[in-house]
Each structure stands twice: as structure tokens, then as C-alpha cells.
Amino acid sequence: MWCLLTTSSYSEAVLKAVNLGEDTDTTAAVTGGLAGIYYGFNNIPSEWVEQIARKDDIIALAGRLEQTLE
């Protein structure tokens, strides 16, 4: 949460989490999830999104989740 509250963009928050040290994969994953909710998908750097495996499947799953929550 601290990484999200002390930065002003998705990438800043995630990079701050990674640079904390220790269990950075878990910390960055949680920070990335929170930052994604706060900043939105379109604010995730496109070069990061392009590297996601099975991106289309993940986007479809997120769309179904969104419909369920409406």
C-alpha cells in the first residue's frame, strides 16, 4: 500500500515495490494489482503489457469478472 500511496503512476508504484528488496515478487504483484485498479489498465506501460503471456485470455477473463460484478 505504501508504494501506491507514495507514487503517482502505475510504473512508479511497481518499480518502487521491486526496489524495496526482500520478497519483491510478492510485494510487486500485490502493488501491481492495487495500482492497476487505481490507475486502470490503460496506464500500465504498453511495453510491459506486450510481454504478458496469454494476455488475450487474461483480458477476456477480466471482462467476464467485470460483467459478473455489474
Q: Which residues are annotated as a binding site?
A: 23, 25-26
Quickly tell me which residue has 519483491 as its cell: 24
Q: How far apart are alpha carbons 21 and 53 in whole angstroms?
A: 25
- Spell out a b/e string for 12-22, using b for 16 or more CB atoms within 10 Å of the CB, else e: ebbebbeeeee
Binding residues for Mg(2+): 23, 25-26
